[in-house]
């Protein structure tokens, strides 16, 4: 979708005239390692992608917010108010959640016409929701001259998801799409929000994303269930050592404290989070030394822990990962994002990419009856205004 098409589309959909149309873009993200660690105060290592969500927006004189998208039929016309209600499970809850959070912070929202257009595969675990939240937050911040810092916009995006949409997500996705930098991954401590931009130089390898195309039905409720299980683990472990977040422990601590966890499922959930946090720390260190083989091994270990201890994979993700690992030149493969469907990310030698796409695509189809899609990841910049 080019800017000209988006502009024409907005003018055709809405008859109202208003201020000059402005354009914004926010990317999706892929997480390289550090999964389900963010809401436990741990490390993550995501990067922004080159595909994402475009927004054409203008101010109007009527006291209404019109929202539509080229991706779905549902459109909304919402009277400006002092508070907002969630609209079923519709996509508008993401931008509306941002409007609601800004309103709570005292921002006077004017009449608006907003047209979104995304090229992130929907519900694929590549953060189409954080992308639409951040494109909204960044656009309104600029358009209304609010002067909110980028980190606070990231927090507003997460608050929209937590309080309005109702998913108790951590901060990784909004941070990655808000703060991403071309050809870098973000090594983020989700407790302190200290971060480092690490150059991704893969010397003959590429990151290949594979989409299971599995509909992610109960993903949000299962996600919230995992968040609650981690809180239970914190309570139980605190009988041995007072902690507030699982990532305050490393695997040595866990091994000596795990007998305080009386429930086997909760024990496995905690083991995943704590081992994943240790792995992420190591992964960034080895990547900096150029040890891609070890980085790939840690990606593999991450997936296995998400499959066996955290139980967020499922037949589709496990099949893509298992089939990918059979291809010579694939040195690491894991699920990325929340899980329960969505995508995998693999580290693949350039000359093996075509073979991987062909052979994994075929075996995945014959095992699951679903057609996978593959994308060679390009690491892009975070949310921004598009200058025309
Ligand atoms: C989703 C959430 C993130 C994070 C990941 C799992 O993408 O939005 O906050 O918890 O799952 O790592």
Domain spans in the chain, listed from the N-terminal domain onward: 3-198
What's the predicted TM-score (pTM) here? 0.97
Over the stretch 323-351, which tens digit does the pLDDT of each residue have? Answer: 999 999 999 999 999 999 999 999 999 99
Higher model confidence: residue 119 or residue 15?
119
User: Atom 2 of ligand 1 has which residue's CA nearest to it?
Assistant: 169
Query: Which atom of ligand 1 is found nearest the CA of 34?
Result: 12
Question: Is the CB–ligand 1 distance for residue 29 below 6 Å?
Answer: no
Write the DSSP string, 67-93.
EEESS-S--EEEE--SS----TT-TTH
Instruction: Check whether 230 has a pLDDT greater than 70.
Output: yes
Distance separating alpha carbons of residues 111 and 61, to the nearest angstrom: 6
Residue 94 has a pLDDT of 97
Pairing assessment for the beta strands 184-189 and 195-199 based on DSSP bridges: antiparallel
Q: What angle is formed at CA 382 by the lines to CA 300 and CA 213, rounded to 5 degrees?
A: 45
Residue 46 has a pLDDT of 98
Question: Is the CB–ligand 1 distance for residue 276 below 6 Å?
Answer: no
Distance separating alpha carbons of residues 173 and 343, to the nearest angstrom: 15
Question: Is the CB–ligand 1 distance for residue 173 below 6 Å?
Answer: yes
Question: Is the CB–ligand 1 distance for residue 39 below 6 Å?
Answer: yes
3-198 is a CATH 3.30.230.10 domain = yes
Question: Is the CB–ligand 1 distance for residue 301 below 6 Å?
Answer: no
Residue 50 has a pLDDT of 95
Are 170 and 188 spatial neighbours (Cβ–Cβ below 8 Å)? no
User: Atom 1 of ligand 1 has which residue's CA nearest to it?
Assistant: 338
Question: Is the CB–ligand 1 distance for residue 36 below 6 Å?
Answer: yes
Question: Is the CB–ligand 1 distance for residue 113 below 6 Å?
Answer: no
Which residues 6+ apart lie within 8 Å of 217 measured at CB?
A: none
Q: How confident is the model at residue 208 (pLDDT cuts 50, 70, 90)?
A: very high
CA distances from 72 to 4, 58, 119 (A): 20, 20, 12
CA distances from 334 to 84, 93, 189, 207 (A): 38, 30, 21, 11
- How far, in Å, from the CA of 198 to the mean position of ligand 1? 20
User: Atom 11 of ligand 1 has which residue's CA nearest to it?
Assistant: 338
User: Atom 10 of ligand 1 has which residue's CA nearest to it?
Assistant: 36
Query: Which atom of ligand 1 is found nearest the CA of 161?
Result: 8
Residue 48 has a pLDDT of 98
Residue 4 has a pLDDT of 84
Count of CB atoms within 10 A of residue 257's CB?
A: 19
Structure tokens at 261: 């966890």
Higher model confidence: residue 217 or residue 295?
295
- How far, in Å, from the CA of 225 to the mean position of ligand 1? 13
Q: What percent of the chain has pLDDT over 90?
A: 91
Query: Which atom of ligand 1 is found nearest the CA of 129?
Result: 8
Catalytic residues: 173
Average per-residue pLDDT in the chain?
Answer: 96
Structure tokens at 326: 């059979």
Average of per-residue pLDDT across 269-298: 98
Over the stretch 305-324, which tens digit does the pLDDT of each residue have? Answer: 999 999 999 999 999 999 99
């Amino acid at each position: 979708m080019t800017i000209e098409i988006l502009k024409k589309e907005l003018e055709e959909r809405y008859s109202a005239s208003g201020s000059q149309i402005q354009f914004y873009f926010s990317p999706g993200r892929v997480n390289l390692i550090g999964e389900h660690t963010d809401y436990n105060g741990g490390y993550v290592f995501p990067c922004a992608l080159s595909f994402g969500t475009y927004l054409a927006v203008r101010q109007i004189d009527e006291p209404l917010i019109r929202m539509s998208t080229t991706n779905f039929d549902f459109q909304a016309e919402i009277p400006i108010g002092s508070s907002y209600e969630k609209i079923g499970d519709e996509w508008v809850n993401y931008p509306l959640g941002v409007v609601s959070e800004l309103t709570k912070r005292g921002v006077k929202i004017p009449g608006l016409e907003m047209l979104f257009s995304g090229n992130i595969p929907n519900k694929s675990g590549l953060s189409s929701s954080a992308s639409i939240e951040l494109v909204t937050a960044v656009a309104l911040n600029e358009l209304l001259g609010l002067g909110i810092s980028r980190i606070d916009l990231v927090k507003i995006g997460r608050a929209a998801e937590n309080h309005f949409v109702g998913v108790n997500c951590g901060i990784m996705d909004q941070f990655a799409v808000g703060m991403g930098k071309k050809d870098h991954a973000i090594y983020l401590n989700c407790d302190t929000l200290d971060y480092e931009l690490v150059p991704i130089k893969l010397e003959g390898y590429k990151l290949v994303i594979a989409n299971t195309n599995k509909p992610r039905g109960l993903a949000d409720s299962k996600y919230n269930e995992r968040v609650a299980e981690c809180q239970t683990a914190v309570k139980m472990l605190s009988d041995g050592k007072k902690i507030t977040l699982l990532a305050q422990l490393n695997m040595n601590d866990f091994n000596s404290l795990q007998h305080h966890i009386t429930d086997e499922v909760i024990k496995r959930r905690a083991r995943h989070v704590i081992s994943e946090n240790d792995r992420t720390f190591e992964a960034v260190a080895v990547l900096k030394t150029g040890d891609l083989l070890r980085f790939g091994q840690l990606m593999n270990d991450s997936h296995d822990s998400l499959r066996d201890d955290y139980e967020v994979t499922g037949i589709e993700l496990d099949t893509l990962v298992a089939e990918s690992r059979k291809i010579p030149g694939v040195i690491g493969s894991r699920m990325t994002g929340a899980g329960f469907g969505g995508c995998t990310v693999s580290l693949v030698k350039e000359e093996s990419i075509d073979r991987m796409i062909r052979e994994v695509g075929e075996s995945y189809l014959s095992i699951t009856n679903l057609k996978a899609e593959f994308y060679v990841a390009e690491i892009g910049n975070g949310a921004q205004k598009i200058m025309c």
